[in-house]
């Protein structure tokens, strides 16, 4: 058989040859350094056989920044973690240990609780394993044999996985440890040059709070110590920027156990929220969207029609009705209500497109263990819109969505990239309908030259979607908004329009939320800016600090004049020292501090004009003396950045 190499040359191999055989055929050094095989864009364990005509790429220890090469390194390190935990904590039961973004984890049921202090010993044991030498061996066994083996070993989680696994059952063994695992894995542990266990957390088995709560140990691994040190530095920066901590420190929001996953917004947090809401309304109006408002609660029949009862019921909050067998659901999304709006009267092709917009509170019953500050909540507010259009209008409407998207993300200095999520197994509609919808979204991304990857099978049940991602100042990727093209849901509601031929035609719907949700977007902005928001978004744009009691009246007048111009200003009249109050403003990340003392008062008397001379300190420490008019000009210029159009 022959396989095709990255340079398009062909490599001839015996039938049944593996990826490792291919590496050996090219050269012994390559075989020694090989860690993973990439076949036609997908990853494969080096030990598995190749097929005739496959296009292959052999990843090695030199591919230190390749995500797939890092994933296999971290997966194997997770298995070393499990081996170490079993050796140090007899009786522990093991669950799952996959690689994740920037690291790996393994879930355990320990016989006795462990703490962060136990991680050092476990990490040392992992290093001992690497020094002693570990190689991975793969074998396939019948399902019944796998179940019997793990029952005998007293591993109930592995028994459950083995019973439910699809396809061949594979085991990987290193040292005395054998795990149920699909792979892939390294040849041996020698490429693992740097590792670190980074934390503990609770995690319900399979993410279901009705199941046993396990202990999740997080860690990471790299091919070089330098890469690990750079990663740990980024983690330290991320901890300093954690929006949950800054939310408290900057008095923006907090959470309470009486309503898990639902933020309580403080006045300063609501300033940020309302600024973004103002931008949403302003730009929607400019782009021809119609603001609407729909109910929060609908009966079961509506959710059955929309498809959510079958596909999304487990994530809905349900309410029993006042008659037998009647059930209501609090809406997790706005689209069914907008379908009712469109269907409330006859529509002509002359009416289209119709763009409904609504930023309503939604509720999704996310498992407790998955909640994470503002980035994973149960109470969520999307900048939602639904565009009802003809087939011929799809291209123009998608272009309008992507232009709008670029405009919004440019306001916060970030460029979008995307994942094109295609048909899932539980899709509604025909393959021909999905072919058309996927092609339209793909063409739109390419017209706007937005970088994208394909997420096979990740689309919504009613249509493919563009999942929008951002990369923050620390290089972390975040999933944000979405643009979906849907023919299925309007058809389920029987929505049509009268065409120029006097016949009814099915309507298309573009579901779009560009911020994604206000909660998640704000949480990410807090971390992206580290709480030091740009002037136009800052909850307090300027703080006036009167030096003494005799300066407070002038400071109040100065505040009033700035507020008349629409700026958000505070006066700090506390009796603390001047230095302490300035330092407090810096900690609160206020963009400008204006100090008003004897020199400013003397200038006001001499010129008979308040604010002829003001001491201004910018966030970051730069100081200058300006007039009130110069201050206004500066503030107006910075405020205008919220509306560059």
Residues with catalytic roles: 335, 364, 382, 384, 386, 465, 511
Distances (CA, A) of 373 to 277, 518, 523, 532: 20, 13, 8, 19
Nearest Cα neighbor of 521 from 363, 331, 382, 315 is 382
List of E strands, 29-184:
34-39, 42-44, 56-60, 93-94, 99-100, 103-109, 137-141, 169-174, 177-180
* Partners of residue 188 on adjacent β-strands: 135
CA distance 171 to 430: 38
CA distance 306 to 489: 6
Distances (CA, A) of 489 to 298, 553, 592: 16, 62, 50
Cβ atoms of residues 44 and 184 within 8 Å: yes
Residue 353 preceded by cis peptide, ω within 30: yes
Q: Give the SS3 label for residue 265.
A: strand
CA distance 594 to 615: 6
Cβ atoms of residues 464 and 440 within 8 Å: no
The β-bridge relationship of strands 290-291 and 354-358 is parallel
Residue 68 preceded by cis peptide, ω within 30: no
Cβ atoms of residues 19 and 35 within 8 Å: no
CA distance 437 to 521: 27
Q: Which residues contact 626 (CB under 8 A, 6 or more apart)?
A: 614, 616, 634
Cβ atoms of residues 380 and 363 within 8 Å: yes
CA distance 283 to 644: 12
Ramachandran bin of 281, using left for φ above 0, alpha for ψ from -120 to 50, beta for the remaining angles:
alpha
Nearest Cα neighbor of 102 from 77, 70, 78 is 70
CA distance 7 to 18: 19
Tokens coding 353: 């497109």
CA distance 112 to 212: 14
Tokens coding 360: 């309503």
List of E strands, 40-143:
42-44, 56-60, 93-94, 99-100, 103-109, 137-141
Tokens coding 305: 């029609």
CA distance 303 to 310: 8
Q: Which residues contact 162 (CB under 8 A, 6 or more apart)?
A: 143, 146, 147, 150, 169, 180
The crossing angle, in degrees rounded to 10, of helices 143-152 and 156-164 is 170
Ramachandran bin of 29, using left for φ above 0, alpha for ψ from -120 to 50, beta for the remaining angles:
alpha
């Amino acid at each position: 058989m022959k396989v095709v190499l990255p340079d398009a040359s062909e490599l001839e191999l015996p039938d049944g040859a593996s990826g490792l055989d291919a590496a050996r055929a090219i050269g012994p050094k390559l075989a020694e350094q090989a860690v993973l095989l990439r076949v036609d864009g997908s990853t494969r364990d080096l030990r598995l056989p190749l097929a005739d005509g496959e296009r292959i790429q052999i990843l090695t220890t030199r591919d230190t920044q390749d995500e797939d090469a890092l994933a296999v390194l971290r997966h194997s390190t997770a298995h070393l973690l499990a081996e170490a935990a079993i050796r140090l904590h007899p009786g522990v039961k093991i669950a799952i240990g996959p690689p994740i973004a920037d690291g790996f984890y393994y879930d355990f049921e320990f016989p006795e609780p462990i703490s962060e202090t136990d991680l050092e010993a476990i990490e040392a044991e992992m290093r001992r394993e690497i020094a002693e030498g570990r190689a991975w061996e793969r074998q396939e066994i019948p399902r019944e044999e796998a179940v019997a083996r793990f029952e005998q070993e007293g591993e109930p989680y592995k028994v459950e996985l083995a019973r439910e696994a699809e396809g061949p059952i594979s085991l990987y063994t290193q040292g005395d440890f054998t795990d149920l695992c699909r792979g892939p894995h390294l040849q041996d542990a020698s490429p693992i040059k740097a590792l670190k266990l980074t934390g503990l957390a609770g995690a319900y088995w399979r993410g279901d709070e009705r199941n046993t709560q396990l202990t999740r140990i997080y860690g990471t691994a790299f091919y070089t110590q330098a890469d690990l040190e750079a990663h740990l530095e980024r983690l330290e920066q991320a901890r300093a920027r954690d929006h949950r901590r800054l939310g408290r420190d900057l008095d923006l929001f907090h959470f309470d156990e009486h309503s898990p996953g639902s933020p309580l917004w403080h006045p300063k947090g609501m300033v940020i929220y309302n600024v973004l809401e103002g931008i949403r309304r302003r730009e929607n109006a400019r782009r021809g969207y119609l603001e609407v408002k729909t109910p929060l609660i609908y009966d079961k029949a509506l959710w059955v029609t929309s498809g959510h009862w079958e596909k999304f019921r487990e994530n809905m909050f349900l309410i029993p009705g006042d008659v037998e067998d009647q059930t209501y659901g609090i809406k997790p999304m706005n689209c069914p209500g907008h379908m009712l709006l469109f269907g409330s009267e006859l529509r002509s092709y002359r009416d289209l497109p119709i763009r409904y917009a609504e930023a309503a509170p939604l509720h999704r019953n996310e498992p407790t263990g998955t909640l994470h500050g503002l980035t994973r909540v149960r109470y969520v507010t999307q900048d939602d819109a639904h565009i009802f259009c003809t087939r011929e209008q799809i291209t123009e409407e998608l272009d309008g969505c992507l232009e709008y998207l670029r405009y919004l993300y440019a306001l916060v200095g970030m460029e979008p990239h995307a994942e094109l999520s295609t048909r899932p197994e539980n899709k509604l509609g025909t393959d021909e309908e999905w072919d058309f919808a996927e092609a339209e979204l793909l063409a739109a991304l390419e017209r706007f030259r937005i970088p994208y990857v394909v997420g096979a099978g990740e689309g919504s049940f009613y249509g493919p979607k563009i999942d929008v991602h951002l990369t923050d100042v620390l290089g972390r990727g975040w999933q944000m908004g979405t643009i979906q093209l849907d023919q299925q849901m309007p058809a389920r509601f029987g929505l049509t329009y009268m065409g120029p031929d006097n016949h009814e035609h099915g309507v298309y719907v573009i579901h779009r939320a560009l911020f994604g949700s206000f909660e998640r977007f704000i949480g990410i902005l807090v971390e992206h800016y580290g709480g030091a928001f740009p002037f136009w978004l800052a909850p307090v744009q300027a703080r006036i600090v009167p030096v003494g009691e005799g300066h407070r009246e002038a400071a109040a007048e100065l505040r009033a004049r700035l507020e008349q111009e629409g700026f958000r200003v505070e006066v700090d009249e506390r009796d603390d020292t001047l230095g302490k109050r300035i330092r407090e403003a810096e900690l609160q990340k206020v963009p400008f501090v204006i100090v008003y003392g004897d020199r400013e008062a003397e200038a006001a008397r001499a010129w008979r004009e308040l604010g002829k001379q003001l001491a201004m300190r910018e966030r970051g420490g730069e100081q200058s003396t300006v007039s009130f008019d110069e201050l206004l000009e500066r503030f107006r210029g910075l405020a205008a950045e919220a509306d560059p159009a």
